[in-house]
Structure 1
Amino acid sequence: MRPKPRNSSRPKIFQSPAAAAAAASVTAAYALAKSEKLDFSETEEPIKLVVNKKDVSVELDAVREDKKVMELSLTEARQENSRLREKIEEVNNTHAELSKELLSVQGQLASERSRCFKLEAQIAELQKVLESFHSIESEVEVLRKQKSALEQDMEHAAAATRQGSGGLLSWLSGAPRSSRSF
């Protein structure tokens, strides 16, 4: 693993063969251009252009036809772009309207949720009151039974008192006594 010896006389850029060849060709072209000063202003014979008018007119007609086709194509593309812009504008307007409607519906939904929450709270309170009514109703029923039993006891006591007082009066008056066992 020894490092390769470097040729320090050539810069690093010229170390590849392709770079060296390119540099050599540039150097040679520069040297040639310096040594020969070329003058194109004076030529011995004028250059004659031979042009066939028929070929040029055919090519010119073809170019004009291509131009017409391209202009037609461009017009169609512009019309299509215009239609697409109108559709995009329509879709954007619809989107804006739907967004407003969505916000409105979301606001309504939020108010309905709040109202629903309040109603649920009221229902819970009313259920508690209803449960207390059941317990109160049970207490009232117990009190009615107690009252009924008390009233029956009072009726028996009154009847017993009447019978007891009627016996003394009937004894004094001489009326026959009811068969009562003492």
Structure 2
Amino acid sequence: MADDVRLRRAQDGDFASIVALTNKAYRETGPGQSWSVEDLIEGPRLTDETLREDLAAAPDAQLMIWRDGADEHLGHVWLEPQGDGAWFLGLLAVRPDLQDRKLGRRLLAAAEAHAQAEGATRIAITVLAQRETLVAWYERRGYRRTGVTKPWPYHESRLGAPTRSDLYFVVLERAI
């Protein structure tokens, strides 16, 4: 499944489309919205500034982009080694208008294969606990809840403005 997905490290020229696709996939509501849109948070999920800050703060992270043969941006994912074979996977986004082609599961499989080739033995992700459908999607792909939770960063606005006061992340993990 991952064989047809060609990932490459994102370059500066990719950042605008990464920001645009992230915001479309994570936050845009209305006709054609992603089934996994974060309707619990308002405002942009990512800006050029926050993307650059995140990359500067995590020099070992790999922001990987998937483009098709026509150079269309299909999706992207953040991969970051955490030590002892553990890698963090985040910012997974695919074009909402093409989700019926199973792009998300294909990108996830390719990201896992890439991390494994780099030495990963397990992948950890964080998902908002209130997004039960998305948590279930990852569980169907072999991810399991670790019992660890992380609070939503209410003290900062870089991820958007939550519309609820009870948000938190669950940590899921999968051996690869």
- TM interval, shorter chain, is under 0.3
Greater gyration radius: 1
Q: Which has the higher strand share?
A: 2
Q: Please, what TM-score do these two structures have when normalized by structure 1?
A: 0.13
Q: Which has the higher helix share?
A: 1
Q: Please, what TM-score do these two structures have when normalized by structure 2?
A: 0.13
